[in-house]
Chains A and B, each alone.
Chain A
Amino acid sequence: MTRRRSVVDDAREVRIASELVELGARVQVLETETGLSRERLLRLYKEIRKKSPPRGMLPFSTDWFMAWLPNVHSSLFMQIYQNVIQGSELDEIEAIIQAYRLYLEYLHTAGLTQVLSFTRAWRLVKFVDAAMLRTVPCTHCGGHFVVHTMELYDHFVCGLCRMPSRAGQTGGFRTERRERAAVH
């Protein structure tokens, strides 16, 4: 890069990158969202997490968001995100950070386990930007849920109004409650 970077911009990018690392973002996310060099990002990652970042590709499938439990969490995150970005002057990445914090906070207050990682949440927003995924309202409850863009949803009923028979029984909501019951 030939242009000298402004110190203020640089400080802002380091702040955003640090917040991303703290929330568990992968290095590829940091590279996309900041103009910082890969070398600096790796150093930042190691300083904050005290270990090297995981290698390998980012998850890239839109199908993950369609499974029952991921879809519930993704839809919740998207509602929070749309709420946060609406009418605000935040950059997209800052809105994702804020929305993800509110999502984690909700899980904490409700006593639920995290299903959507930061990197997945970030991918979800990118998929919606790229019109590969979108949200449609459920004709029963009126809530908005994440779906594939290409499919038609004239009479869409969400997975919470029409629960699949085994939904939430394996490793999802139920296990969590049993664990909590054991604690009390």
Chain B
Amino acid sequence: MKKTEQLLEEIRETNLTYLILAQKMIRADRVQALFRLGVSEAVADILENLSIAQILKIAASNMLMCGFRFSDEIVWNLLTRDSADSNVEQVHAAILMAGAAAEAA
């Protein structure tokens, strides 16, 4: 039971950090934030205007508010492959990531 409590606490902290960072990024540079976060304009509007109380409430969930952005297996294979030309794989992954983000938005 104690383990679960600790896990929930870590999820809450991660959510809190993530939401605060997202809000900060949107307020600092909206265009770049949309690219980095991979959220739509509409979601960005909501995130930007969240109050501290709302952020705290949303963070206290048993689910993570941030998910893995790239569900494509190819991307993960490229990022984790240990080859002599890792730079090539890295830039290949970057092209796929930027493209997947464009399709999802």
Which A residues contact B (CB, under 8 angstroms)?
72-73, 75-76, 79-80, 82-84, 86-88, 90, 95, 98, 101-102, 106, 110-112, 141-145, 160, 163, 167-168, 173-174, 176-177
Contact = CB atoms under 8 A, between A and B. Distances in A.
25 contacts: A72-B95, A73-B91, A75-B95, A76-B91, A80-B35, A82-B102, A83-B35, A83-B102, A84-B31, A87-B40, A87-B105, A88-B31, A88-B34, A98-B31, A110-B94, A111-B87, A112-B87, A142-B72, A143-B96, A160-B88, A160-B91, A173-B87, A173-B91, A174-B85, A177-B87
Nearest to A95: B31
B102 A76 contact: no
A141 B92 contact: yes
Interface of B: 31-32, 34-35, 40-41, 72, 74, 85, 87-88, 90-92, 94-96, 98-99, 101-102, 105
Contacts, number: 79
B95 A173 contact: no
Given A110-B87, A110-B90, A87 B41 contact: yes
Interface centre among A80, A101, A111 (most CB of B within 10 A): A80
A163 B101 CA distance: 25
A168 B88 contact: yes
B41 A143 contact: no
A143 B92 contact: yes
B91 A102 contact: no
A110 B105 contact: no
Q: Is the interface of B mostly helix, strand, loop or mixed?
A: helix
Contacts of B72: 142
Contacts of A143: 92, 95-96, 99
Nearest to B36: A102
Nearest to A79: B98
Contact of A98 (B32, B74, B98): B32
B32 A86 contact: no
Contacts of A72: 91-92, 95
A39 to B, nearest CB: 32
Nearest to B72: A142
A31 to B, nearest CB: 25
Nearest to B78: A141
Contact of A88 (B41, B91, B98): B41
Contacts of B94: 76, 106, 110
Contacts of B41: 87-88
Nearest to B96: A143
Contacts of A176: 87
Nearest to A141: B74
Given A87-B40, A87-B41, A167-B88, 19 more contacts: A79-B98, A80-B35, A83-B101, A83-B102, A84-B34, A84-B35, A88-B34, A88-B41, A98-B31, A106-B94, A110-B87, A110-B91, A111-B87, A141-B96, A143-B95, A160-B88, A168-B85, A168-B87, A174-B85
